[in-house]
Structures are given as C-alpha cells and as structure tokens.
Structure 1
C-alpha cells in the first residue's frame, strides 16, 4: 500500500485494468449525463416557459427508473450482465443521438423531448443493476469498498462540474452540442464494458416465462427484506432520503434569507457536492473500516444533524458549511451501504437486490423532496429542515439500536 492509499485507496485503479477501463468510461458518461440533464431542462423551458412542464421531466425519468430498474435486476440475475450493459448502453447512446438531431433540426416538440428522455432513462435503468454488480466481480473482497468510493468520486465530480460545463456548452454551441457530447461519452463507456470478461450470475435462469420472471423479482425483494443486515441498510437509506432531503427547500430558504439570489441557490447545490468530493477523496479510512454498517449508521446520523442545523443557522457561510458536512456524510453513508449490500448479497441474487436498492435510491429522494415541500407549506422552510433532520436522526438511531446485525457486520461476512 502506497502512502496515498491511506487517504484515498487507489488500489483498484492501479492493480485491475478491467476496473480502470470501466471507471474511465463511467466517469466520462457521468459528466456528460449531467450536461444532458441541464440541456433537457433548458430546452423544455425554452419550448414551454412552463415550470409545470419542466417538472414533468421528473416523471419522464422517475417512472422508467421504477419500471425498468426493477426489470433490469431480474435480467441481471438471468443473463450475461456484460452483454446486458452493452445492449442498454448502446440504446442510451442511440437516443442521445436522436436528442441531438431533434435539437439541431429545430423540431420544437417538448413531447418528443420527454419521450426521448424517458427512452434514454429506461435504457440506463435497465442496465444499472447489472453494472452495479461489476465491482464485486472485478475486485478482491477487500477492495470492493475502495472501488465504490472511486465510483462515487466520479458521481460527485459530475454533480459539481457537470452543470457548469453544460452552461458553457449550451451557451457556445446550443443544446444539440450538449446532447452530442452525451452520445460520444456514452459510446466511450461501451469500450470499458466491451473489454470485460463474461459476467454471468452464479446461477443463471434462462428460458423462463413472465410468471417465473415476476417470481424472481419478488424473490429479490424478499431477500432484501428478510436479511436483517440488508433490511436495516435499506431502512437507513429511506430515513435519510425521505425524512431529510433538503433540495426542495432551497428556493424558499434562498428567497427568505438571501433575497432570492440565483447565485446563492447554486452555491447550496454545489456545497453538497463539494463536501461529497472531499469525503470521497479522503475515503481511505472509511473504506478500510472493518464494520461498514456501523460507519453507515454514524454517517447517516451526521447527515440528519447537519441538515437540521442548516434549517436554523443564519449567514451564508454557516449554511454552506452545514450543507458541505451533509454532503460528506452522505458520501460516506453511500459507500458504506454499497459495500454492505454488494458483499452481504449472494451473487445469484445480487442483480435483483441491486435493482431494489437502485429503485429506492433513485425514487426516495423525490418523495423526500415532496414531503419537505409539503411540510414547508405549513410550518415554513426553516422548521421543515430542522424537523426533518431531527426525524432522520431519531429513525437512524432506532434502526441502529435494533439492528445489531448491521452494527456488527464485517467485511469478511462475520457479525
């Protein structure tokens, strides 16, 4: 182990060419995906000038995530996962090209844009569970957590830099260029996957009909809910996202405290990503922790505390510090939870359990933001943030107290 690994464990990148190629392609795709997200919002707003229809973009992504994310988990445990990801990534790249074409020729149909966004999201969701299973198959058991941490650095970096890059691309060359960039990066990610070995599940299920496939999907959820370690990890994820999700409160808080300055609103979002990047870049101690479940419990509690305090503090810098701490805690929690889920799940069920985690992780924040907005409508955004953070800490504490298996679970599978 080199000195750097004590801060950020880079062994997966240095020692495993397959993971390295996969990480490079995924990183490029993550950055371009953020560019495409901004391009979609900008184009729908340009075509409609309606905040309601801009909000419909969330439905165009949320519904395919729920439907195709669940289906993708079943397919990931029935087919060669590498081929499934190649197929779905190729589909997403084709749709990105179609988005670029419609913007370039000026079709000016917001319905077409939403339909293409839904199609691209469905392709990505269909392959997401299979892609998540690559890390534990490519890396030794003791390097799974560092591999997940490196993936999270890509995600946080994309969240921080991607929107700014989108603004430059769209301002200079238009939305069609942003979509074209997404298509090129998605095609690049195909190279990293194509060079991987076959990724068949330990127990393939082929030639099964709809009813059998439905049973397989239900079985994946049963494994998740009946396994104490996985059930507790899911509960903590829900506590964080449903009870303490802050993004919907940002506009109201910004209007009340900072004169509705759009630059401040952007800083709120960037602060969370900045904290997440710092935590990911210094994740060595967390990824080497023998008890990732205990680390996840502590990090989730810090997330709740930081967001609760965010609702009460005055001053921009104090607010930004709270959000950065929350972002750092969320990163540690996500890495630790991913380690537990991937290593505590049998490979024969890993695709379906990963799909369940993906659906919850992608869908629950939307529910949490809706809850936060509803509460803020009655008690104001400050109290909504404070009570949400407190409720999160309370639930995480209860789950941690009851979930002895999660507290004691170790990377070697013992508790």
Structure 2
C-alpha cells in the first residue's frame, strides 16, 4: 500500500478477480526465477489481449517504416519526412486525452473494437493509395493523422483494461510481457520491412499491417465486457471530464511523480536525434551504416533482454524505488554512452539504458494501474500516452540544439548526468514516490 504522509494519495484500488480462478502454479526454482514471469498468461482474457499484441507489434512497425519511406520517395526530402511525422502528433495528443475520458465512460471492450477497426481501415487506405500510385504527401499526412487519432483513442482503453483482467500483484509481470512484445516489434518490424520492400514492394507492407489488425479485432471480440464499474447517471466525455482528470492527477503525488520521472528520463536523456551525427563523426571508422543501425537498435535490444529476464524484478513491491533506481540507471548509462569512443562499448551502454527503461516502464505502468481508481484509469492512461509520445519528440529538439551548440558527445553526457541529478533531487524533495509500495 501507499505509505506516504499525504491524505490525498490513493490506496491501490481493489482489483476485480479474473473470470476463472488463477492457480498459483509451482514455485519458480533455478533459472526460472530469473526468466520472465508468465503468470498473467494463465488468465484467458489477458492471454488473448497479449497474443494480439504479438501480431500488431510487428505489423504496426511495417507501416511506421513504409510511411516515411514513401514520403521520401515522393519528395526526396528529409524535411518532408519530419513534417509528416509531426502531422500525427497533434491528433495523437488531442485524441489520447479525449480517448482517456471516453474509456472511463463506456465499455472499454467496445471502444477497443471500434478503434482497432478504424486503424485497420486506415491501413487499408494506405495500401489503396500506394497501389493506385497517388503519390500525394498531403493524402499520406491526412491518413497518418487519422491513424494516430484512432491510436490515441485506443491506447488508453487498452492499457486501462489490464487492471480489470489481472490481479494487482501481477500488474508488473503483465506490463513486462506487453512491453517486451512492443520492444521486440521495434527491432523485428523495421528489419523485416527492410527485407520485404525489395521483394514484395512498399504497398504490401500496409496490407500486411491491415491483415494483422484483423487478428487484433478478433482477439478483442473474445474479451469479456468491460463496462465502467461506477454506476449511476451516464457520464459524459467532454472537456470538463478531461480537466477533472488533470485535477485528479495534481492531487495524487505518486501518479504525478511517475509521469515526471518519465519526462525527466526522456526529455533530458534521450539522444536519438544525435545518432546520425555520432555515427558519421565519432563512429564513422566502423562504417556509418553499421554504426547508425547499431545505435538505433541497441536500446530496444536492451529492453527486450530486460523483459526476457523480468523475473529478476517484476515481483518487487517497492514500486516507487524501482522507478527511481531505473531512471537514475538510465541517466548513468546514457552518460556512459556519451563518454564512449568505441562503438561496441557505446552500444553496450545503450543496451543497459534500454534495460533500465524496461524496468521503469514496468513499474510506472503498475503504479498507474494500481494507484488510480478504475473510473480515472482511462484518463490517466490518456495523459500517459501523451507523455510517452511527446517526451522523445521534445528530446529531439533539445538534444539537436544542444548538440549543435556544444558538440554531440558533450550534449549526451550532460543530458545523462542531468537525469541523475534531477531524479535524485526530486526523490529527495518529494517522498511520495519512494514511499509507494504495493
């Protein structure tokens, strides 16, 4: 439970039991104690939700590669690629915040069905425009905006549903399972796209994603109904309800601090905007292409390894300390990366950072699901979606500017050290996060 002194801090909310009894299973011995905790997969409803993620994690990355590739093929300009990426940011922010409010007012299973069908239709439209050779950047940007709007509506409902499907003590394990799949998709998806584009063409990547989303729709259809737990009058999902969500967040320190921890780590310590310059100038002797690919792949690879061995940490009960330690470890690893002149040492530091990020994701997600009441989980997940999507984009601007002014390695080291100092200072000044446990 939460042991902070503030009376406004939430107690971990009571979790509805899964529809079928969940057996404890045999004790984990030997190497099994270190491996991923798979207890949530014994719950049929969660297993269906998680299984659908395996397919879409790869499929969505095919589209994520295909859109910028098609934009570049049409324009020959990286500036247009960046503009197309930004075209999806505002719809994502707006609809994630609104989607969180919607997820608190209607059956989340129904909302997931509607939004997954919308995303699938969008992927199908991507395929159509590519097949007919429309070659319109404007159309691509509009489709991307529509896709991100549906995703913004989908993500809060999907994440908030987990706490209704698994017991509270298994939330870290469930988050580790989901995060590992998503991180694996970020590694496998782009590699698969690179192999498939010369063989089957760009358009078919969109079609594969659309077909994968059909699997997701079927899996969601198999879920139990997830109506709001709070009865009474029908609630709206408007501006007032969104504002109520922010007010709720401001009154509950542990939730606010979990968001601030991610903002600190991502804004000050995510140096991906400097990877091309570092690959060309610092690690160019290894081959610029190899260096760039390795730098981008190292963090997801570390996160996947962290997920595969999440049994080492997923049963921890001091969730606040786990977040603090993970963010500090992230900052230290990023600083180590900035100090590394050897490409392989640099990649190793980034992999350690990815592992730390996995730990942070697991326990920030668990705090969000356990500390927020069910009628607020959708809105909290909406804010979470905005933070996760917006933080790295702010980091791109900050690190790009700092790298130009002070040099890329100085910017990376300074950012990593700043993460460590600010996170430790925040943890010392406000005890709510470090005192939170379940």
Q: Flag whether TM exceeds 0.5 (same fold).
A: yes
2:257 aligns with one of 202, 223, 232: 232
- SS of 1:410's partner is coil
- SS of 2:384's partner is helix
- SS of 1:287's partner is coil
Distance in 1 between residues matched to 2:143 and 2:436, nearest whole Å: 43
1:82 aligns with 2:109: yes
1:314 aligns with one of 328, 337, 341: 341
- What does residue 187 of structure 1 align with? 214
Distance in 2 between residues matched to 1:249 and 1:204, nearest whole Å: 51
- What does residue 246 of structure 1 align with? 271
Cα gap change, 1:206 to 1:263, in 2 (>3 Å): farther
- What does residue 108 of structure 1 align with? 135
8 Å CA contact 2:53, 2:182 repeated in 1? no
- What does residue 62 of structure 2 align with? 35
- What does residue 289 of structure 2 align with? 262
Cα gap change, 1:237 to 1:205, in 2 (>3 Å): farther
Distance in 1 between residues matched to 2:239 and 2:229, nearest whole Å: 19
1:391 aligns with 2:418: yes
- What does residue 380 of structure 1 align with? 407
Distance in 1 between residues matched to 2:398 and 2:100, nearest whole Å: 28
User: Cα RMSD between the aligned structures?
Assistant: 1.4
| Structure 2, gaps ≥5 residues long | 1-26
8 Å CA contact 1:235, 1:399 repeated in 2? no
Cα gap change, 1:205 to 1:26, in 2 (>3 Å): farther
1:11 aligns with 2:36: no
CA displacement 1:107-155 (0-9 Å, x = unmatched): 1111111111111111111111010012110001111110110001111
Distance in 1 between residues matched to 2:45 and 2:345, nearest whole Å: 43
Deviates further, 212-221 or 184-193: 212-221
- What does residue 172 of structure 1 align with? 199
- SS of 2:157's partner is helix
Cα gap change, 1:291 to 1:61, in 2 (>3 Å): same
- What does residue 49 of structure 1 align with? 76
1:128 aligns with one of 133, 149, 155: 155
Distance in 2 between residues matched to 1:233 and 1:201, nearest whole Å: 25
Distance in 1 between residues matched to 2:183 and 2:278, nearest whole Å: 23
Q: Counterparts of 1:63-78 in structure 2 under 5 Å?
A: 63-78=90-105
- What does residue 160 of structure 1 align with? 187
Question: TM-score, normalization: structure 1?
Answer: 0.96
Q: CA deviation at 1:377?
A: 1.0
Distance in 1 between residues matched to 2:57 and 2:35, nearest whole Å: 24
CA displacement 1:24-47 (0-9 Å, x = unmatched): 111211111011110111101100
8 Å CA contact 1:146, 1:287 repeated in 2? yes
Cα gap change, 1:324 to 1:218, in 2 (>3 Å): same
Deviates further, 200-209 or 29-38: 200-209
Deviates further, 253-262 or 63-72: 253-262
Cα gap change, 1:75 to 1:206, in 2 (>3 Å): farther
1:223 aligns with 2:248: yes
Q: Counterparts of 1:332-411 in structure 2 under 5 Å?
A: 332-411=359-438
Cα gap change, 1:292 to 1:35, in 2 (>3 Å): same
Distance in 1 between residues matched to 2:350 and 2:333, nearest whole Å: 7
- SS of 1:314's partner is coil
Aligned length: 408
8 Å CA contact 2:33, 2:312 repeated in 1? no
Distance in 1 between residues matched to 2:155 and 2:125, nearest whole Å: 21
Q: CA deviation at 1:258?
A: 2.3
- What does residue 214 of structure 1 align with? 239
8 Å CA contact 1:84, 1:127 repeated in 2? yes
Deviates further, 396-405 or 132-141: 396-405
8 Å CA contact 2:283, 2:341 repeated in 1? no
Cα gap change, 1:308 to 1:204, in 2 (>3 Å): farther
Distance in 2 between residues matched to 1:304 and 1:94, nearest whole Å: 40
Distance in 1 between residues matched to 2:28 and 2:165, nearest whole Å: 21
Q: CA deviation at 1:268?
A: 0.5
Q: CA deviation at 1:311?
A: 1.0
Instruction: Find runs of 4+ consecutive structure 1 residues off by over 6 angstroms.
Output: none
